[in-house]
Amino acid sequence: MTFPATDGITDKLQALFAYDASSPLIFSSGLFLFLFAGFLLIYSAFRRAPMARIVYVILFSLYFYYKSSGVYFLLLVFAAVSDFLIAQGIYRARLKWTKRWLVVLSIAVNLGMLGYFKYTNFLIDISNQLFGQGFLQFQNIFLPVGISFFVFQSMSYTIDIYRGQLKPLSNWLDYLFYLSFFPQLVAGPIVRARDFIPQIRQNPIVVTKEMFGTGVFLILTGLFKKAIISDYISLNFVDRIFDEPLLYSGFECLMGIYGYALQIYCDFSGYSDMAIGIALLLGFRFPKNFDAPYKSATITEFWRRWHISLSTWLRDYLYISLGGNRKGRIRTYGNLLLTMLLGGLWHGAAVRFILWGGLHGVALALHKLWMAVVPGAKATGAQMHWWSRIAGIVVTFNIVCLGWLMFRAESMQTVSLMLHQIFYNFNAAMIPQVVTGYAAAFALIAAGYVLHLLPATVDAVARRIVVHAPLVLQVVMAAAMIWCVMQIKSSDIQPFIYFQF
């Protein structure tokens, strides 16, 4: 005989430990908030016990990744074993060629994993198009969440040891902790080993009032960006435009592109804010990953402000390795283009991602040429007169949005249709009707851009208010934000966009 209440508890426990591909565990979900609250209660007991803390965090991190990607959490463990052993070999090798072959082995293993899971379907599709459907049968290989992030993070560790910039860890659990640390595991930021490893065995773990308050502030702002702005405008405006662009005027298509630019920023920077905030609550510091990128007056400045951990990774481990700007002007432009093409391919195996990377590579090369031949040309807006800075922001933003159009569209046909609507069917007379019909979405888009463009001092003041607020008030702020999220969401919370990378 079974009792209904017992059956309900059993079902909930089974759901807690079961992987559901349709509902990966994300920071903005109620389940994560519940689990994290319980995690923190036990975590505080390990304040002065580094080894117990390391094991505890690793177990929670692997559980977190299991709830995001199922059995593929074993890939993470494999990468940790592989690069830990290879790094030891690189450090101990006496001969330079041995070190070189070992670092090549590390890169091959990591890129092999990434290539198989990320690009096999793409290659199968191309083969079937070239040689006929059915030429290759197996496809639809599952892409583990965030594989690109932990692969890049692991590669940087072995490369830094090869370059003599880092000594390898002697304890494998420390390396697994570094690679699996759940706040940044599935969507970054890409944390460098030399920045993170010194923090692992701090004893006691210290969370100052400033760290706690800043963590709360970042979690709240991240929730606001992701669960209120990004999710709402995605479901209620942007997705509709991209799904059927011919049903909408050119003005609506243009606003759909501008809306997506805000959506992807709020989605990704919202995740980064929450990741950095959660890490602060645990006593760890991550570098900033976004710095108001749509304030950029040049494409060079944009890449200094957008996804900073990826752009610096590409610079340090790809662009510089290709020769950087040390091989002459033409080679520099070629290195920029190749770096961004590979950066586009990193985002996904599709022509649109390659074109997105190519657009940014060409824009970066042209800006570098502009600075070389035009006297007084500047790299960033901070060095410009106010009027040229405003013009630069407008031009740069629209170049970036052209890239986002290719990035978001499901096919190049969608890109073509949306551009056709914008240039040949703008229909300005419908603007008041469109704005009225999508009043809530347009209000959130406007609010998002206004908040984004506010001076940095405004953000600093808001942060200080939260940091110095009493704990009770911080709890009230958190409860109010959660209530707002529950009120505004029109359906299930959407997965983070960068989970697919």
Residues designated as active site: 347
Q: Give dist(CA 66, CA 145) in Å, integer.
A: 10
- Amino acid occupying residue 340: M
Are 66 and 73 in contact by the 8 Å Cβ rule? The answer is yes
Are 350 and 264 in contact by the 8 Å Cβ rule? The answer is no
Question: Is the peptide bond between 189 and the residue preceding it cis, with omega within 30 degrees of 0?
Answer: yes
Are 421 and 246 in contact by the 8 Å Cβ rule? The answer is yes
Q: How far is CA 96 from the centre of its chain?
A: 36
Count of C-beta atoms within a 10 Å radius of residue 10: 11
Q: Give dist(CA 272, CA 207) in Å, integer.
A: 19
Altogether, the residues listed in the chain come to a count of 501
> Can you read off the two tokens belonging to residue 394?
């407008």
Please identify which residue in the block is written with the tokens 């330079």. Answer: 96
Backbone angles phi, psi at 75, to 5 degrees: -60, -40
Q: Give dist(CA 203, CA 205) in Å, integer.
A: 5
Are 347 and 330 in contact by the 8 Å Cβ rule? The answer is no
> Can you read off the two tokens belonging to residue 287?
């570098």
Are 273 and 225 in contact by the 8 Å Cβ rule? The answer is yes
- Element (H or E) spanning 493, and its range? none
Are 24 and 493 in contact by the 8 Å Cβ rule? The answer is no
Count of C-beta atoms within a 10 Å radius of residue 443: 13
Longest dimension (CA), the chain: 86
Count of C-beta atoms within a 10 Å radius of residue 80: 22
Are 444 and 263 in contact by the 8 Å Cβ rule? The answer is no
Q: Give dist(CA 238, CA 236) in Å, integer.
A: 7
Backbone angles phi, psi at 15, to 5 degrees: -65, -35
Q: Give dist(CA 33, CA 26) in Å, integer.
A: 9
Q: Give dist(CA 252, CA 412) in Å, integer.
A: 19
Helices (H), 165-249: 172-180, 193-200, 209-223, 231-233, 239-243
